Amino acid sequence: MTRSLVLSAAALVLATAAPAPAQERVSSAPAAVVRALDKVSGETTDLELARGEPRRYGRLSIVLGDCRYPTADPASEAYAWLEIRDPAMSEPAFSGWMLASSPALHAMDHPRYDIWVLRCKSS
């Protein structure tokens, strides 16, 4: 009796379980556009970053590792792997993925500068 009850419960759980969401297909772009803010002056600047090439902003050095976007809808999102270094700091100011739609999700913590991803650039 107990075994059939357990099997019935397991069958019910499997029958009502929601299917896993499909993974989104992404493409990789050779460049990205980020916006940089100097918190002291209030000046914002859009920077185009080519993959693997360091770009200076103030005293920061910004390197794009990769920029990915949904293949079906390139304008909907951008995921950029960035490494941002400040020579005054022993560790990188930021190293990881930033999402264009949710910049605060994994944001850079720096006293003077703020950087966030705007979009990938495929051409």
What pLDDT is recorded for position 12? 44
**pTM exceeds 0.85, yes or no:** no
- Residue tagged 């951008």 (tokens): 78
What pLDDT is recorded for position 19? 44
How do residues 72-93 score in pLDDT, each as one tens digit?
888 889 999 999 999 999 999 9
Q: Enumerate residue ranges in the chain where pLDDT < 70.
A: 1-22
Q: How far apart are CA 106 and CA 78, in angstroms?
A: 13
Domain segments of the chain: what residues? 23-121
Q: How far apart are CA 40 and CA 31, in angstroms?
A: 28
**Of 69, 39, 75, residue with least CA distance to 57:** 39
What pLDDT is recorded for position 2? 56
Q: Is 85 left (phi over 0), alpha (psi -120 to 50) or beta?
A: beta
